[in-house]
Amino acid sequence: MILKKESTINRRKNYFIKKDFQLSFILKFCTILLAGIIISTLLLILLSRGTLTSSFENSQLTIKNTAAAILPSILLCNLLTLGLLTIVTIVLTLLVSHKLAGPMFRFQKEIEKMGAGNLTQKIQLRDKDQIESLAKSLDSMRGSLKEKIQTIRSDVAMILNTASSHDAPQEVVEQLKHLQQQVENNFKV
């Protein structure tokens, strides 16, 4: 069973959970944004090549190549757009990657605990966390492993009792006790 805690109780304070992943995610989006602005500027200059534009500068009519006339305005507009969109992109990608990296970080910790034999904890997600189906599958696996370990414990105890009550060789009884101790030491269910 997946437990959902209220977001006010389990709210993450640190938005950089998997810094390498999140930084790479942000840089890729910003690179795409920069490439788009460069391509649009180059296309505008290329398409306006060979045309003339008239303008008034200092009370004089000036005729210039269109690309040269609009280049300063294009650069200023693109720099402002790039700055604003970069800030928006960083914030949005940080929030999106946080929604992915947080549960992934939690899953990694839970899997490490399971690998160490601790099968007692259920996976807890905050409200609106992504990849809930993965959490359900992981929790189902944990529950299944827990049941199997409990069955093994029960079977080993039953075999040990049977071996002890039927005068089995001491070596067999000792090996069964050792097996029982290994199960107890390696799994927390």
Distance CA(186)–CA(180), nearest Å, equals 10
The 10s digit of each residue's pLDDT in 24-45 is: 878 888 888 889 889 988 898 8
**The residue to which tokens 């997600």 are assigned:** 125
For residues 104 and 129, the answer to whether their CB atoms sit within 8 Å is no
Query: Per-residue pLDDT for the chain (189 aa), expressed as one digit of tens each?
Result: 444 444 444 555 666 667 787 788 788 888 888 898 899 888 988 888 888 888 888 888 888 888 888 888 888 998 898 889 889 888 887 787 777 777 778 778 888 888 888 888 887 766 666 677 777 888 888 889 889 989 999 999 999 899 888 888 999 889 989 998 988 888 887
Residue located via tokens 């060979």: 50
Retrieve residue 60's tokens.
């004089």
Per-residue pLDDT, 151: 92
Gyration radius from the chain CA atoms: 32
* Predicted pLDDT at 104: 79
At 7 the pLDDT is 44
pTM of whole model > 0.85? no
Residue 154: burial class (beta carbons within 10 Å; 0-12, 13-18, 19+): exposed
Q: What pLDDT does residue 4 have?
A: 47
The model's pLDDT over 167-185, given as tens digits with 9 standing for 90+, comes to: 889 998 899 899 989 888 8
Could you count the other beta carbons within 10 Å of the beta carbon of residue 176? 19
d(CA 56, CA 188): 82
Structure token digits, residue 156? 């080993």
* DSSP sequence for the chain: --EEE-TTTS--S-S-SSHHHHHHHHHHHHHHHHHHHHHHHHHHHHHHTT-EEEEEETTEEEEEEHHHHHHHHHHHHHHHHHHHHHHHHHHHHHHHHHHHHHHHHHHHHHHHHHHTTB--PPPEEETT-S-HHHHHHHHHHHHHHHHHHHHHHHHHHHHHHHHHHTT--HHHHHHHHHHHHHHHHH-B-
